[in-house]
């Protein structure tokens, strides 16, 4: 029997993401039909971002004044990705392991017609972008940071952004 709110290889609809901002990988359900290592499910607690949180909802404010829904991805307490819904599909920025710069995800392993959109860090309509988590730490303080405008994608960020735990 299918479990509710399981998403494999995609993000939840925005309404579900609004109801459940925190998500975890459903590794314990990986062998169930239609699920794999990419399947996510709501985290049991939805009050704050915990050490168990793999993904958490965010709001992204762009340089042109527009906003979008986003999802922060975490690995070992570090933000490793910012995923943004552009109104039709999702695009992703990945943080390098040492957290010195952002890099747009381009799905080069897929044929061009199957790839999700990507963005340029030099797009002055989008960057600098302000990112703010919908939930905060157990103390209540939300995660907030800026993704800078980078005239050159190789331009390093002057300091690393976050390590939570």
* Coil vs helix vs strand at 61: strand
Check whether the bond before 29 is cis (ω within 30° of 0).
no
* Contact in structure between 68 and 86 (CB atoms under 8 Å): yes
Q: What is the pLDDT of residues 109-146, one digit of tens each?
A: 999 999 999 999 999 999 999 999 999 988 888 999 99
Alpha carbons within 13 A on the beta-carbon side of 78? 12
* Contact in structure between 49 and 136 (CB atoms under 8 Å): yes
Q: How many CB atoms lie within 10 A of CB 116?
A: 16
In this structure, what are the phi and psi dihedrals at residue 27, rounded to the nearest 5 degrees?
Answer: -60, -35
pLDDT over threshold 50, residue 163: no
| DSSP tally for the chain: helices H, then strands E | 1, 9
Give the chain's end-to-end CA distance (angstroms, integer): 36
Evaluated on CA atoms 41, 47, 52, 56, the torsion sign reads positive
Q: What is the pLDDT of residues 57-78, one digit of tens each?
A: 999 999 999 999 999 999 887 8
pLDDT over threshold 60, residue 156: no
Return the percentage of the chain with pLDDT > 70, whole number. 88
Give the pLDDT score at 8: 93
Q: What is the pLDDT of residues 23-56, one digit of tens each?
A: 999 999 988 888 899 999 999 999 999 999 999 9
Q: For residue 152, what pLDDT band results from cuts at 50, 70 and 90?
A: low
Give the pLDDT score at 2: 63
| Model confidence, pTM | 0.88
Contacts with 152 (C-beta within 8 Å, 6 or more apart), sequence order: 122
Q: Which of 12, 16, 37, 18 lies closest to 26, judged by CA?
A: 37
């Amino acid at each position: 029997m299918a479990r509710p709110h399981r998403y494999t290889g995609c993000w939840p609809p925005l309404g579900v993401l609004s109801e459940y901002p925190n998500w975890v990988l459903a590794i314990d359900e990986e062998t169930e039909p239609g699920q794999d290592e990419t399947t996510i499910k709501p985290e049991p607690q939805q009050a704050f971002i915990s050490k168990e949180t793999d993904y958490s909802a965010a709001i992204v404010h762009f340089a042109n004044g527009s906003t979008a829904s986003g999802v922060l991805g975490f690995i070992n307490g570090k933000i490793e990705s910012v995923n943004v819904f552009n109104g039709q599909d999702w695009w992703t920025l990945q943080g390098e392991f040492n957290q010195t710069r952002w890099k747009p995800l381009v799905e080069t392993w897929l044929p061009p017609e199957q790839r999700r959109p990507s963005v340029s860090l030099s797009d002055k309509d989008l960057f600098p972008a302000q990112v703010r988590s919908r939930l905060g730490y157990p103390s209540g303080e939300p995660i907030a940071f800026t993704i800078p405008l980078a005239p050159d994608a190789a331009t390093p960020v002057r300091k690393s952004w976050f390590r939570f735990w």
